[in-house]
Amino acid sequence: MPNPLQIGIVVFPKVTQLDFTGPLQVFSSLPGATVHLIWKRIEPVPSDGVLTVMPTTTFADCPQLDVICVPGGAGTDEMVVDEDVLEFLRTQARGAKYVTSVCTGSLVLGAAGLLRGYKATTHWTAMDYLAPYGAEPVKTRVCVDRNRLTGGGVTAGIDFALTLVSHLADRETAEMIQLRLEYNPAPPFSAGSPDTAPPEVIDRLRQINPSGQARRRANNERAAVALRIRA
């Protein structure tokens, strides 16, 4: 009997829950897959909402993964300068078949030096931070470049996970999971992208949490400098 496929999702304080619960639902439906939720310690990890997550394994105890996935959220502002997280990703990436992310999780991959020379995507508000990590930003829902798969913002995690399943197994398996989840989106508004959202909605969103935006900018600039020094 073949060994189970090992899929790991890193969870961290202030992770956006939908960034990882969407892919988690997809991966958990993949026959023969074992899914791990990974953090430094086995302790409750608060998301950016009311949900608290209990990791299933630690960095130290995690097996070699076939797939390593980093979700996004406000917590990535700290993860891009967290050397424990970055070293864990570098170590796992050496043996992983696929190195992946959802939303601003791609910035953490970038800070670890894992997107240099690769095309990648992220949340639309964070696109400008990819290039300083040596990545080529691509404005798309799911970006596939060799064994790097990156998803756009939040809900794109489901699209990303289904795409990855089609690579890990086949298209029919991915379609069966999609059907099981009845993933057939028909949003009530056309405001899900800056290309279609009303300008006043975009402006209003940009004005929310300016201190958080400043922290993201500062930490990613710091991480990009550290990566250049490391190189």
Q: Is 62 among the catalytic positions?
A: no
pLDDT tens series, the chain, 231 aa: 468 999 999 999 999 999 999 999 999 999 999 999 999 999 999 999 999 999 999 999 999 999 999 999 999 999 999 999 999 999 999 999 999 999 999 999 999 999 999 999 999 999 999 999 999 999 999 999 999 999 999 999 999 999 999 999 999 999 999 999 999 999 999 999 999 999 999 999 999 999 999 999 999 999 999 999 998
Report the domain count for the chain. Answer: 1
Parent domain of 139: 5-230
* Residue count (the chain): 231
Round to whole Å and give the CA distance between 231 and 210. 32
Round to whole Å and give the CA distance between 10 and 41. 12
- Indicate which CATH number applies to the domain containing 36: 3.40.50.880
Catalytic residue selected from 62, 69, 103, 143: 103
Going from the C-alpha of 171 to that of each of 27, 185, 215, the distances in angstroms are 14, 19, 40
16, 151 Cβ separation under 8 angstroms: no
